[in-house]
Amino acid sequence: MIKRLFYSFILSVLSLSVLAKESWFDQSHKALLPSSVNQELLNFRDFPIFWWNFLIFEFPEGESVNWGLLKNNCRNQLLKTGNLIRKSPCEGLEGSLRPLLEDWARDFIVRHPKPGESDMIKLYNQSITKASLLMGSSITSFLRKDPFNSVDEYLKNFTKKGGFQFENHQGLFFDPKKNRVLIPIQLNVPPSETSLIGKLYHLAEKICEGLSCKLIGVEGPHFSTWQNETQVKTDIGIVSKIGWAILFLFVLFFVLSRKWRLLYLFPLLFCSMLFSALITYLIFGKIHGLTLSFGPSIVGLAMDYGLHGMFAKKDDKGGIWRANLFGLLTTLSIFVVLLFSTLPLLNQLAVFSITGLIISFVSFYIFKLVAPDLFHEKPFQLNPKKFKSLEALSFVFLFFSIIAFFNLSPDFSLQQLNFEPKEAREIRQWFFSNSGALNPMIEITDGEPLRILKDSAKKKEWANEMGIEFDGVTKHLPPIEIQTKNIDSWKPELCNRKRSDLIEDFFQPYWENLKCQKIFPVTLSGGQIPSYLKDYNANGKWVNLFFPTSKEEIKLIHQANPNSHSFMEITSLFSKTLSMELIWMLPLAILIALIFLFYYFLSLEKSLIALVPFFTGLGCFNLMVIFFELRVSFISIIGLIMMFGFSLDYGIFIVNLMQNKENSDKDGVWTTVFLSALTTLMGFAPLLFAGHPALQHLGQSLFFGAIGTFIGGYAGIPALFNLQKKIGYSLEKTI
């Protein structure tokens, strides 16, 4: 029977592997965003029109810019990236713009009606005469495909794009006040693909070779994602190293203090972590680096159960394990609630924690049953002194925990989670304050291409009437009816052309592409999208952009196009979602824990006192927030939720000790609480020095929370019991 159960268990675990994906380790920034918001972001980040990034260079004050050399260096360095660059003003007609311009020149006849005969001749001759400029055979071959000089029409728009209030030097922007140059580059991959961005950054640094400039900043979705990922990797590396060092110190301490049996807990805990990692991988298909960093710290909290078990009296009849069980249940309640979060990282962390905590607990308990002699260690003979000051401090923390409900105002914006090097702040401010048109209202449309063209044309017309700048497919391609009309006007020229030998000969490469009677409008169907329109298309959807310049225009756009949103509006969905989640998550977690506590103590008073370490932890954190002006993000809140879990373990055991329940052993409880607090503090202290704000915020809430929790348990709970004795007040009696 047992064997069958075991095999069924193994099979059910292995069956989860069908969900697993090839790449198991995830370090992306995605997991930090709620899945709903992430999808919204991805929806518009899939469109190449949002794949523009900016290289920012600064020249010494008073020094003039050698534009020729700068552009040349830029072109040479960008060429080394292979196909990574989609467009850049550094490249000439021979660069990545070439296929786009060829499509643009080909479709001149669908955009424009045929001009009058004399104008036609002029256009032909104008293009032929351009060949006299001797720009090389490659450019000449392009001119032969552009009889109507449409390249000027495109380049005029291309170099204007950006909306910057700077001087425009052939597509490179210059701020004479700061002596800074801005080079826009559009990449060929979505922002989530960061593998080549590091290389691009280092090549961008080399653009200043032979010049006195310096790359002082990079802006844009690709660079931002890359910087965040790089910082997370660095932080994870540091935190992991410190974690191993702490583990080594504890092992050394246990060996030197001859409490070597405590070392048995480590392999059990380690196996539990491995197993929970496996389960997490099998469920999610990959494990995020942050889950691997913080998950073990949370599972490490299970060490408390092992310590309590080991330091329990030999004649303990299960009272300690009952208390342990309720400690586990109250902790699990938090993580079960987190399972319903929309943040993929928190889901992973919750699964990792729940499985790790349960497996650790069960394995400790089985160990205790199988080898009770090996699973026992004498506690340190601790007789902690009473410090009035700590008692007072615990009341101060309690006071600040009440204040927290009024002053703690977490900023849930995604910007809080965005890593930004300190030196980049001023540059970012400068960049955005000078780029008024960079916050467009985005509208994503879906459906039949012909209808999309028609709708887009209507929107363009509407925007023109309102005086609002518009960008979309119809900025470059008219609706089908107009295209058909235009083509019809060209047919006599294309079918019965009688031009001079020179015109026929020179533009032969152009005529080759346009067979008479086989010229149709550009319908965008069947995946046949001209290169110059590909920026507006992703996954069969199309994007329209409105560029409002005032709040009134934003309102107008919203009214006429209810599905249009600015980037800020899309990302604010995240904070709204999270606020909504926390409104029910926190009270629910507290309620579940309180129910477990009440079930355990059968006393509302004791249950509430057991909550004191959590509130002192919250108060301590709030005090630090006020004192150090710390930022509070949703990650800080998650840290507090985790703190809530372990603080209740302290609460249960210390309340037990105070009322001498479950055959509590003073030395055993204090030894466990001291060791546990020490491991928690040492475990989370490195995060205080992390570079990434998400890790910093987690470290701050857990570290300061753990200090407050310890003081609340060590001094606060005994002080409350003493106070109760002194005044003879009992909540139960009152009720």
Query: What is the contact surface with other proteins in residues (CB under 8 A)?
Result: 64-69, 71-72, 75, 90, 92, 119, 122-123, 125-126, 128-137, 140, 149, 152, 169-170, 501-502, 505-506
Tokens of residue 33, six digits: 């965003």
Q: Which is nearer to other proteins, 88 or 353 (CB)?
A: 88
Of the candidates 343, 305, 357, 378, the one whose C-alpha atom is nearest the C-alpha of residue 36 is 343
Query: What minimum distance in Å lies between the beta carbon of 519 and other proteins?
Result: 23
Q: Which two tokens stand for residue 87?
A: 């467009």
Cα angle for residues 382, 383, 384 (degrees, 5° grid): 100
Closest separation in Å from C-beta 137 to other proteins: 3
Name which of 181 and 609 has its Cβ closer to other proteins. 181
Nearer to other proteins, 81 or 125 (CB): 125
Of 8 and 126, the one with the shorter C-beta distance to other proteins is 126
Work out how close the CB of 173 gets to other proteins at its nearest, in angstroms, rounded to a whole number: 12
**What backbone torsions phi and psi does residue 446 show, to the nearest 5 degrees?**
-135, 155
Question: CB-hemisphere CA count at 13 Å for 114?
Answer: 16
Scored b (16 or more CB within 10 A) or e, 33-70 reads bbeebbebbbbbbbbbbbbbbbbbbbbeeeeebeeeeb
Degrees (nearest 5) of the Cα angle 213, 218, 224? 165
The answer to whether 59 and 169 have CB atoms below 8 angstroms apart is: no
Tell me the closest approach of the beta carbon of residue 35 to other proteins, in angstroms: 46
DSSP secondary structure letters along 282-315: HHHSSEEHHHHHHHHHHHGGGHHHHHHHHHS-TT
Question: In angstroms, how far is CA 613 from the centroid of its own chain?
Answer: 32
The crossing angle, in degrees rounded to 10, of helices 388-407 and 717-727 is: 100
Nearer CB in complex with other proteins: 73/664: 73
* Closest approach of other proteins to the CB of residue 80, in Å: 15
Structural tokens at position 175 = 């701020």
Pick between residue 34 and residue 162 the one whose CB is nearest to other proteins.
Answer: 162
State the DSSP H helix or E strand holding residue 506, giving kind and residue range, or none if neither: helix 501-506
Q: Tell me how far apart the alpha carbons of residues 312 and 326 are, in angstroms, rounded to a whole number.
A: 16
Of 75 and 222, which has the nearer Cβ to other proteins? Answer: 75
How far apart, in whole angstroms, are the C-alpha atoms of residue 417 and residue 30? 11
Rounded distance, CA 199 to CA 223, Å? 11
CB neighbour class for 10 (10 Å; exposed up to 12, middle 13-18, buried from 19): exposed
User: Which residue, 128 or 246, has its beta carbon nearer to other proteins?
Assistant: 128
- HSE of 3 in the Cβ direction (CA atoms, 13 Å)? 0
Count of Cβ atoms closer than 10 Å to residue 139 Cβ? 18
DSSP string of 154-203, one letter each residue: HHHHHHHTT-BSSEEETTEEEETTTTEEEEEEEESS-TT--TTHHHHHHH
Q: Which is nearer to other proteins, 93 or 731 (CB)?
A: 93
The nearest distance, CB 145 to other proteins, in angstroms, is: 13
Which segments of 59-179 are extended strands (E)?
A: 85-87, 167-169, 172-175
DSSP strand E in 221-378: where? 287-288
* 72 vs 571 by CB, closer to other proteins: 72
Q: From the CB of 119, what's the least distance to other proteins, in Å?
A: 6
Q: How far is the CB of 169 from other proteins (least distance, A)?
A: 5
Nearer residue to other proteins within complex by CB, 125 or 523: 125
Cα distance between the two ends of the chain: 51
Cα gap 198→215, rounded to integer Å: 14
CA 332 to chain centre: 26
Q: How far is the CB of 153 from other proteins (least distance, A)?
A: 9
**C-beta of 152 vs 448, nearer to other proteins:** 152
Nearer to other proteins, 68 or 728 (CB): 68
Cβ-based nearer residue to other proteins, 126 or 257 = 126
Q: How far is the CB of 135 from other proteins (least distance, A)?
A: 6
Nearer to other proteins, 111 or 534 (CB): 111
Question: Least distance from C-beta 113 to other proteins, angstroms?
Answer: 15
- CA-nearest of 516, 543, 517, 510 to 529 is 543
Q: How far is CA 181 from the centre of its chain?
A: 29
Minimum CB separation from other proteins for residue 99, in Å? 20
Residue 433 CB, shortest distance to other proteins, in Å, is 25
Minimum CB–partner distance for residue 104 and other proteins (Å)? 16
CB closer to other proteins out of 95 and 285: 95
CB of 60 to other proteins, least distance (A): 17
Helix (H) or strand (E) holding 670: helix 666-684
CB of 128 to other proteins, least distance (A): 6
